[in-house]
Amino acid sequence: MSENTLYCGDNLDIIARYMRPESIDLIYIDPPFFSSRQYEVIFGDAQERRAFEDRWKGERYHYLEWLSARVAKMRELLRPTGSIYVHLDWHVVHYMKVEMDRIFGNDCFRNEIVWCYRRWSAAAKQFQRLHDTILFYSRSSQGMNTFHVLHEPYTEGTLRRWKGIKRHTTIGPDKTLIQVEDTVGVKGANMGDVWPISILNANAKERLGYPTQKPEALLQRMIQASTDQDALVADFFCGCGTALAVAQKLGRRWIGCDVSPTALRIVKERLERAGAHKVAMVNYPRSEGELRLMKPFEFQNYVINFVQGVQSPRFSGDFGIDGYTLFHRFPIQVKQQDHVGRPEVQKFDSAIRREHKTKGYMLGLGFTRPAYDEAARIKMDKGPEIVMHKIQELIAAGEPVEIL
């Protein structure tokens, strides 16, 4: 697990593969809401569309299952002093609160933060929906969580009433109640759980043009309250990276993850503008030169992920099958070589037949003419169809591809 790194992929998989338990101080997530395709598919690339379809296989319960599985894994990543903020809205927040109580325990619930804003919406037979809800839980139930009290200005009414002097009642040395006077205004009132912060308007300087981008002012509060300098902040649905950019600006370390390579490209630039040096990308589509330098196992994993397949549970040397296509479970073989020839095609043919499949994919850096001829012969003899793809050509498309 590396800090100041962006991970490309489904966060469930990224957590299992790369994250260390009890290592993160603050997790903020703003998952796609259970709303509609129009609002949920933001970057529009293949990985994100797939993630969207995943959540929509069923009804609300399916979404809750999908999100709860991820939040439960995130809980394990938090240090004992750590906290998580889960950003939701009216679609699922009430259901998810129940799930979060189950995952964290009631005692770890800290706040239901209401982020309220103004915006114009069409008249309807109900009140306008003008807030999101952020569920704040600590990893520990015993008040061990890092927390710095934030302050907000006193209201004008309070200031008028106090006429510059704040009086509050406290217990005196002789155990009687006494009135104490403070000068008003040094720090302000302790911050409450209702946060009026404007949504990003069309001209906002920080705006990058994505509809779900959250204001930095919102993230500042969570990060300042729940972390110390140098703490590690993670956002596993990072979108265009607001939480990470704020963490960077506040001198915190960070980890980001998103299923969309397009999103991560935007985040990388944003973080560099915010002063981050050497933003590392893991699992991101690579250049051909980088592919050639990868270790064989990393190369194989990378290519299988890139075509959105699933890894073979067995070691590749055993049976010549490195992974399977997602839907039909057709075998995939990955070759980090330029001249994949007839013998390799024949071995793969046997491997496909052993699995009683009708089709298989060979992904290599290059194939010889006899390899193509052999694949054609096998098909003519009513054997399995062997489809050969040059990995460079898949990568050149710039985004992960799906082979069905």
Q: Does 282 bind ligand SAM (CB under 6 A)?
A: no
| 31 vs 400 by CB, closer to ligand SAM | 31
Helical ranges in 145-256 per DSSP H: 156-162, 216-226, 242-249
| Smallest distance, ligand SAM to C-beta of residue 361, A | 24
| 145 vs 260 by CB, closer to ligand SAM | 260
| 184 vs 250 by CB, closer to ligand SAM | 250
Task: Among 4, 6, 11, 135, indicate the residue that binds ligand SAM (CB under 6 A).
Answer: 11
Q: Does 30 bind ligand SAM (CB under 6 A)?
A: yes
| 48 vs 349 by CB, closer to ligand SAM | 48
Q: Does 260 bind ligand SAM (CB under 6 A)?
A: yes
What one-character DSSP code corresponds to residue 2?
A: -
| Structure-block tokens of residue 313 | 């549970």
> Phi and psi (nearest 5°) for 242?
-60, -45
Q: Does 51 bind ligand SAM (CB under 6 A)?
A: yes
Task: Among 237, 284, 306, 324, indicate the residue that binds ligand SAM (CB under 6 A).
Answer: 237
| 306 vs 348 by CB, closer to ligand SAM | 306
Q: Does 234 bind ligand SAM (CB under 6 A)?
A: no
Site string for ligand SAM, 202-231 (x = CB under 6 A): ----------xxx-----------------
What one-character DSSP code corresponds to residue 311?
A: E
| 42 vs 386 by CB, closer to ligand SAM | 42
CB neighbours of residue 54 within 10 Å: 14
| Smallest distance, ligand SAM to C-beta of residue 299, A | 23
Q: Does 32 bind ligand SAM (CB under 6 A)?
A: yes
Distance of CA 314 to the CA centre of its chain: 28
Size of the site for ligand SAM (CB under 6 A): 21
| 237 vs 367 by CB, closer to ligand SAM | 237
The residue length of the chain stands at: 404
Distance CA 179, CA 59 (A): 57
Q: Does 15 bind ligand SAM (CB under 6 A)?
A: no
Distance CA 265, CA 116 (A): 30
Q: Does 133 bind ligand SAM (CB under 6 A)?
A: no
Task: Among 103, 259, 304, 321, indicate the residue that binds ligand SAM (CB under 6 A).
Answer: 259
> Phi and psi (nearest 5°) for 206?
-80, -5
Task: Among 24, 42, 93, 291, indicate the residue that binds ligand SAM (CB under 6 A).
Answer: 42
Closest CA to 110 of 97, 95, 120, 99: 97
Q: Is 308 left (phi over 0), alpha (psi -120 to 50) or beta?
A: left
- Sole window of 40-48, 72-80, 121-129, 156-164 interacting with ligand SAM (rule: CB under 6 A): 40-48
Binding to ligand SAM, residues 310-339 (CB under 6 A): none
What count of Cα atoms within 13 Å lies in the side-chain half-sphere of residue 263?
31
| 63 vs 367 by CB, closer to ligand SAM | 63
> Phi and psi (nearest 5°) for 77?
-85, -15
Q: What is the DSSP string of 73-132?
A: HHHHHEEEEEEEEEEE-TTTHHHHHHHHHHHH-GGGEEEEEEEE--------SS----EE
| 243 vs 340 by CB, closer to ligand SAM | 243
Distance of CA 312 to the CA centre of its chain: 25
Q: Does 134 bind ligand SAM (CB under 6 A)?
A: no
- Sole window of 112-120, 234-242, 306-314, 367-375 interacting with ligand SAM (rule: CB under 6 A): 234-242
Rounded (to 5) percent helix, strand, coil in the chain: 35, 25, 40
Distance CA 316, CA 303 (A): 13
Task: Among 19, 74, 100, 257, indicate the residue that binds ligand SAM (CB under 6 A).
Answer: 257
Q: Does 276 bind ligand SAM (CB under 6 A)?
A: no
Distance CA 149, CA 136 (A): 15
Q: Does 99 bind ligand SAM (CB under 6 A)?
A: no
| Structure-block tokens of residue 341 | 């020839």
Contacts to ligand SAM by CB under 6 A: 10-11, 30-32, 42-43, 48, 51, 212-214, 237, 239-240, 242, 257-260, 263
